[in-house]
Amino acid sequence: MGAHSTDTVRDREIAEEQRHLDTVYRRLEEKLAEAEYILEDAAKRVQVGTPGALAERDAQVYRAGAHLQRLNNEFEDFLFGRIDLQQADAPEEHGIPSQTPLDPSDPAVAETLHIGRLGVLDAEYGPLVIDWRAPAAAPFYRATPLEPGRVIRRRVIRSKGRRVIGVEDDLLRPDLSPTLDGTELAVIGDGALMASLGRARSHSMRDIVSSIQKEQDEVIRAAAAGATLVTGGPGTGKTAVALHRAAFLLYQDRRRYAGGILVVSPTPLLVSYTEGVLPSLGEEGQVAIRAVGSLVDGIEAGRYDTPETARVKGSGRMVQLLRRAARAALEIGAPTELKVFARGQALRLDAGRLKAVRGNVVGSGGTPLNLLRPRARRLLLDALWQEAVRHLPKPQTHAEREQRQDERESFDDYVGDEAPFLDFLDAWWPALTPRRVLASLKQTRHTNRIARRAVTPDEARLLAGSWRHLSERGEGELSAHDVALVDELQLLLGEPARPKAREVDAVDLLSGLDEVTTYADRMARQREREPVERREYAHVIVDEAQDLTPMQWRMIGRRARMATWTIVGDPAQSSWPFPEEAQAAMDEVLSGKPRRRHTLTVNYRNPAEIAEVAAKVLALAAPGTPSPSAVRHVGVEPRFAAVREPEPVAFGAAARAELERLLGEVDGTVAVVVPMDRRAEAAGWTEGLGERVVALGSLEAKGLEYDATVVADPTGIAGESEAGLRVLYVALTRATQRLTVLSGPDDLPDAAGVPALLH
């Protein structure tokens, strides 16, 4: 009887929400018709009006189009929340309702707000749905029984398409026996929220808009200025929060942030996993999510460096090495003699002279080398001219000086345009590209020669080895660490001159500095015309920040000179071995910006059973770091299995059998995580198992999650680098339901079934 009456109450409440949702959809359909009308109308209209008005109209059409598309795509959970509020103590101000109740002991609900992905107004401009990012929606996420504010009841509404299927309530004022329209307020708890945490995972992340928690909401809505730094263990929602924050910033100040938010992600895998979240929040196109290896246009990092090589490439010492490498690259294969014929004589600059000229061209300034080419041309002509007039007496009178000047000008015109001189210039001051400079470092001897104290001979050898596959021009695949070096080199080199630089350019006749600025100006104008990708952002969000090397921080910093920041990460998951060095690099990039710190404490991904195993590794990997608390129990302990035979075939068979077993246990995705050098092997284990299964190298698992994971060869992962235990910690924290740890003969489990490493 009791159950029956609860069901009736639940049905009644669901029906009530259904009525509201129906009203919302009716209104949305009206808006849809309106949007269609605007689109048609705009298409018909001729192009008149000021550019500003036209742009505004384009924007309107764009918005209407986007709206249309989104409504047609039919939202899941378009409307997901509701709060019932007490009477406010003050009228709302600037659209922000007061959060304090007039009378805290008043049990009556005075106001009900529905919260959804987008704001919807009724025909009288009353709110049918409030955008989740609006200030009025904040209490939905912030209210707690200790600090309820005006909220009496918070409700999460679950729907499928246009049908409401469930509600889940939190009563924030159990002391009140609250009422709504004179009847007792119903409170339904059907576990929808916990169910949603336990749902099967797919290969794309979902938004968390209906269940953002208070500590997360505080990050999402934090002021934009300066830098917001967020730490938290695995599964605490750092990535989710970072993405929701992007949507929030756009909502709050669209003009400022449209097109100007960059999200830097550690791997392309995490980019594709998270890509769908912003569109599901109604934000399409304005936010660029890019892997740290894809920040330089035209390059997609596809190689992995060994941990030893990565250590060198990521280090701030590379700046000095690259500076020298760029200069040295100019000299590789450079001619050692310049000979031209002019004024009836052979003029010659020998190696010593050329060296002196080169020194003068570079001077002490930091002008990018490619921009110095006009100066190189001029100083070479100077040197040749001095040769030409060496035996002539100095001009004495004004007339003589004028005459000499005229001769000089025609000398420049004549010599400077002749093939021998131009060919020489091309070879002596070639247009350098970052790739070409990297390729120059593939010769260990050369690298060693220029390395001097920047890197050790051993490190020079590692670097050279990692670039051996590049062609002379630097064609070939690069690593994510190389991309940061390319970016640094781009700055040191400047844009290479255009190939048709052979025409005489009046600019060349000006003095050095003018040449440089004029050239730069010309390039700038050119850039305006060609739609190249944005290089500066208004806000930069860094995910998995603990992994960035100093060189990567510099690269990101160059895209954020005017930006505000959100930086999320977990030092305990860092695969970079020198946290202090990375911290210093970050400090430099953020210099002077005020910082706001937040910590996230609840693990929403891993069930407690898995979190417990991970905590053991955490204690070894980052002693003293608190584990986030896991909110869910699945009632199944992680499995420890071991393969005693040393043959890889036996290990592979065991891994595959385990994957097959897990596929039967969970509805969603399954991953096997292996040491980086066993990736190819692991790909074989998963062959034919279908789309739900993936094989990942330890570093590729960053940020991802699966229903079930097999962590294969944990000792191998832990031994990969100095940061190995932290990488193992990452691997162990990927699963939402099931975890199997599969060890080899070198780490057999003890009597309790736990491998020694995990003690």
Q: Which residue is nearest to ligand ATP (CB)?
A: 237
Smaller CB distance to ligand ATP: residue 78 or 604?
Answer: 604
Does 605 help bind ligand ATP (rule: CB under 6 A)?
yes
Q: How many CB atoms lie within 10 A of CB 8?
A: 10
Q: Is residue 315 a contact residue for ligand ATP (CB under 6 A)?
A: no
Applying CB under 6 A, does 197 fall inside the site for ligand ATP?
A: yes
Distance in Å, CB of 196 to ligand ATP, minimum = 6
Among 149, 178, 234, 416, binds ligand ATP (CB under 6 A): 234
Q: Please, which residue, 309 or 552, has the CB nearer to ligand ATP?
A: 552
Is 625 among the residues that bind ligand ATP (CB under 6 A)?
Answer: no
Annotated binding residue at 179? no
612, 245 Cβ separation under 8 angstroms: no
For residue 238, say whether it is annotated as part of any ligand binding site.
yes
CB atoms within 10 A of CB 266: 25
50 is in an annotated binding site: no
DSSP state of 339: E
Is the four-CA dihedral 222, 228, 229, 235 of positive or negative sign? positive
**Stretch of 230-238, 378-386, 692-700, 738-746 lying at the interface with ligand ATP (CB under 6 A):** 230-238
C-beta of residue 89 within 8 angstroms of C-beta of residue 106: no
Q: Does residue 238 interact with ligand ATP by CB under 6 A? A: yes
Rounded CA gap, 616 and 574, in Å? 17
Q: Shortest distance, CB of residue 604 to ligand ATP, whole angstroms?
A: 3
Closer by beta carbon to ligand ATP, 274 or else 433: 274
What is the C-alpha to C-alpha distance for residues 459 and 454, in angstroms, rounded to an integer? 10
Burial class (CB in 10 A: 0-12, 13-18, 19+), 621: buried
237 is in an annotated binding site: yes
Please pick, from the candidates 86, 99, 159, 213, the single residue that binds ligand ATP as defined by CB under 6 A.
Answer: 213
Residue 684 labelled as part of a binding site: no
**Residue 405 CB neighbour total at 10 angstroms:** 10
Nearer to ligand ATP, 194 or 636 (CB): 194
270-285 burial, b at 16+ Cβ within 10 Å, e below that, comes to bbebbbbbbebbbbee
Minimum Å gap between C-beta 704 and ligand ATP is 8
Give how far Cα 264 sits from Cα of 218, 233, 479, 566, 591, Å: 21, 19, 16, 10, 19
Interacting residue with ligand ATP among 86, 99, 159, 216 (CB under 6 A)? 216
Query: Residue 152: which of 167, 169, 168, 164 has the closest Cα?
Result: 169
The response to whether 182 counts as a known ligand-binding position is: no
Binder to ligand ATP among 604, 685, 706, 729 (CB under 6 A)?
Answer: 604
Q: Is 540 helix (H, G, I), strand (E, B) or coil?
A: strand
Site for ligand ATP in 563-602 (CB under 6 A): 570, 573
Is residue 212 a contact residue for ligand ATP (CB under 6 A)?
yes
Q: Provide the minimum distance between the beta carbon of 111 and ligand ATP in the complex, in angstroms, as a whole number.
A: 25
CA distances from 409 to 348, 405, 412, 484 (A): 19, 6, 5, 44
542 touches ligand ATP by CB under 6 A: no
| Cβ-contact 338, 349 below 8 angstroms | yes
Residue tagged 């990039």 (tokens): 589
CB of 720 to ligand ATP, least distance (A): 18
Q: CA-CA distance, 633 to 197, in Å (whole number)? A: 11
- Give the contact letters, 689-708, x = binds to ligand ATP (CB under 6 A), - = no: --------------x-x---
CA 697, CA 712: separation in Å to the nearest integer?
10
Query: Minimum distance between the CB of residue 242 and ligand ATP, rounded to whole angstroms?
Result: 8
Judge whether 236 is annotated as a binding position. yes
From the CB of 721, what's the least distance to ligand ATP, in Å?
A: 19
Site residues (vs ligand ATP, CB under 6 A): 197, 206, 208, 211-213, 216, 232, 234-240, 570, 573, 604-605, 703, 705, 733
Binding residue numbers: 232-239
Binding residue numbers for ATP: 232-239
